[in-house]
Chain A
Amino acid sequence: MKNYKFVGGIHPPANKLSAKLPIEKAPLPKKVILPLAQHIGAPNEAIVAKGEEVIIGQVIGQNKKAFVSALVHASISGKVIDVAPYPHPLGLKIPAIVIEASDEQPDAGYKQEKTNILSEDPAHVQGLIYAAGLVGLGGATFPTHVKLSPPENKPIDTLIINGAECEPYLTADHRIMLEYPNQLIKGIQALMHILGIKQAIIGIEYNKPDAIEVLSHAVKNTSGIQVAGLKVKYPQGSEKHLIKALLNREVPLPPGLPMDVGVVVQNIGTIYAVYEALYWGKPLIERVVTVTGSGIKTPKNLLVRIGTPIADIIEYCGGLTDDAAKIILGGPMMGMAQYTTEVPVIKGTSGILVQTESEVPASAYHDCIRCGKCVSICPMCLLPNLLGIYAEKQMFAEAEAAGVLNCLECGCCVYVCPANRPMIQMIKHAKASIMAKRRKAKAA
């Protein structure tokens, strides 16, 4: 399939250390911490109390009023030992349910694979997706059932499956594509059934030729699903850029969404979770996490229960090396650095990356030298240099006028900046201040 061009982008070293390692099941955690907000949208309320016994797959967090929200399920059987704020990968302490594992650990879901999903009523199947608490597992954690219910005036014609995995280091999606191709096809067919569409495209970067081959083989006897190779370029896996590259359609600026151009994009991990939810009745209680980086002794692709503290996972992977300096949840470009290993793996945790001292950039940053590198590579055609300076000088109205809210926070500008300027922090600061001002104006 032809690839269309998108402006900007960079070519960071791929560093896919764990690409050849099969997905391994991590040992069951003794304790899980399940934050009540693991998705974009309204946070959940705990519907179990301290001291209660819960079984695996039981709904423990729910928001009955909000549509844009996703259920939280118990990822192990055991006893609720605390409902209180705990450190969350995004930084602040957020209310969470802590479960201590009991001795007996049954499996979640059906005993046998279901067969008749494609003959059931689409609305019913969509209900199953909501009940499984599915969110986008690429990292943005947008509730899946919301993406699958476009308003009537926005007809969908194409489902794009995002197998780009353009973040360096991460290999979780790559491994799923290699190991579960037929299951992915079933998941894709189910989503096409829900959306009532005939076309699906799986986009995979050319640096994963084995995955392209395996999936091309798997789609042979299906209709409407095709596999497309994608140029190797970061941020190829951004939904907007993926749609541009495959269909040459441009998603309007925020609040524009892919559905405005007739497209729904789902990540490979999400598709696999859809398959498990529909065919095996398994809610989102585990996910594949890439544990990687030169600061970890043995990199692995692990199937981990949601809520497992990352300290347990690091220990299972042989621990940290002596010069380990920085732990990042997610990839190196968009992930969040952590200050404690008590934080749990949540639905959006695609990787645990440990960098060593020599890999962490020096602390000093300098004034902008106006070289224009960031401008030439910004995939949203913004002026990151200017946005950064505006944020530094607290000129948020000017930053808004210059389009700061359209920024993807992909990190290309920081990657190329010769003055080491932390543009993404500045831009996030500007965004947060603009949003705070809006909230204040709304409340007044």
Chain B
Amino acid sequence: MIEAILTIGGIGLISSLGLGIAAKKFAVEIDPKIEAVDNALPGVNCGACGFAGCHGFAEAVVAGLAEVNGCLAGGESVACKVAALMGVEAGAVDKMIARLMCQGGINKTKLKYQYMGINDCQAANLLAGGNKACAFGCLGLGSCAWVCPVEAIKISDDGLALVDEGLCIGCGKCVDICPKNVIKLAPHNQAVTVLCNSVDKGALVRKQCQIGCIGCMKCKKVCPEDAVSINSFLAHIDPDKCSSCGACVKNCPTKCIRSI
């Protein structure tokens, strides 16, 4: 009996001594700053900052490899908190959000064929570029919704990937996975946008879709700020110049320019 107690107790004593010494000798010093910055971050590990998750970003900030306003998901409030911890000015944060540059749902755009495959836009894109007549439009199978870390994207009944701009953190994962490049990052305060991605000629766009940009130049003519440019039959609005007056929205014949 006594031997057993001594043996087990002895082993316990020796092991705990070893562990105690090892803990002192091989201790890894963690900068309390990293932990503080990590705690200030949103913690969704979206990877939009370009580092491996929030902890990676925190390490990079403390090491001076990343800007304090590098967390796109957190926006201004997080940037301020991180800046305060680091003792610097936060600077301006341009919060970006994902925006679907297409309004051609299945009721508005013609279909080339009946698609019967897997719900994956990239796979569908391998089959003659998807079933939409327009080669640039949203395929609506939801690859973007699948990768979105905050579930900000829902596929509408019309077959379009709708982004909830209140939830979107601007990580850009949907932009990367979209085979049509029809989701783009835009400044969150840009109100007036051309919601079309087609660079086909106007006549062809008309045949394919009721709500596409036909490059008619009307928006360019009515814009008082000269913010509209037309490149390969597709209008583009410069957010820096746009005053959100809405003249182009009123004059667009296909209603592809929207004020959000």
Contact = CB atoms under 8 A, between A and B. Distances in A.
A91 interface: yes
A432 B126 CA distance: 8
A308 to B, nearest CB: 20
Interface string B98-116: 0000000000000011101
A425 B123 contact: yes
Given A392-B118, A392-B120, A422-B118, A428 B126 contact: yes
Interface in A394-435: 394, 422, 425-426, 428-429, 432-433
Interface string A59-73: 000000000000000
A221 interface: no
A429 B123 contact: yes
Contacts of B120: 391-392, 429
A50 B123 CA distance: 36
A92 B129 contact: yes
A110 interface: no
A316 interface: no
Nearest to A426: B118
A203 B166 CA distance: 66
A180 interface: no
Contacts of B113: 337, 339
A422 B117 contact: yes
A91 B128 contact: yes
A363 interface: yes
Contacts of B22: none
Contacts of B126: 91, 425, 428-429, 432
A429 B129 contact: no
A333 B175 CA distance: 35
B122 A433 contact: yes
A426 B129 CA distance: 16
Contacts of B128: 87, 91-92, 339
Contacts of B116: 361, 363, 422
B127 interface: yes
Contacts of A428: 123, 126
Interface string B123-141: 1001111010000000000
Contacts of A340: 112
A431 B131 CA distance: 21
A140 B123 CA distance: 21
Contacts of B122: 429, 432-433
A432 B121 CA distance: 13
Interface in A20-48: none
A363 B116 CA distance: 5
A339 B112 contact: yes
Contacts of A92: 128-129
A363 B113 CA distance: 13
Contacts of A392: 118, 120
Contact of B127 (A87, A91, A426): A91
A365 B146 CA distance: 19
Contacts of A363: 114, 116
Nearest to B133: A339
A17 B113 CA distance: 27
A429 B146 CA distance: 16
Closest 9 CB pairs of A and B: A429-B123, A91-B128, A339-B113, A363-B116, A339-B112, A425-B117, A422-B117, A432-B126, A425-B123
Interface of B: 112-114, 116-118, 120, 122-123, 126-129, 131, 146
13 contacts: A337-B113, A337-B127, A339-B113, A361-B116, A391-B118, A391-B120, A425-B118, A425-B123, A426-B118, A426-B123, A429-B120, A432-B122, A433-B122
Given A361-B116, A392-B120, 11 more contacts: A87-B128, A339-B113, A339-B131, A363-B114, A391-B123, A422-B117, A422-B118, A425-B118, A426-B118, A428-B126, A429-B126
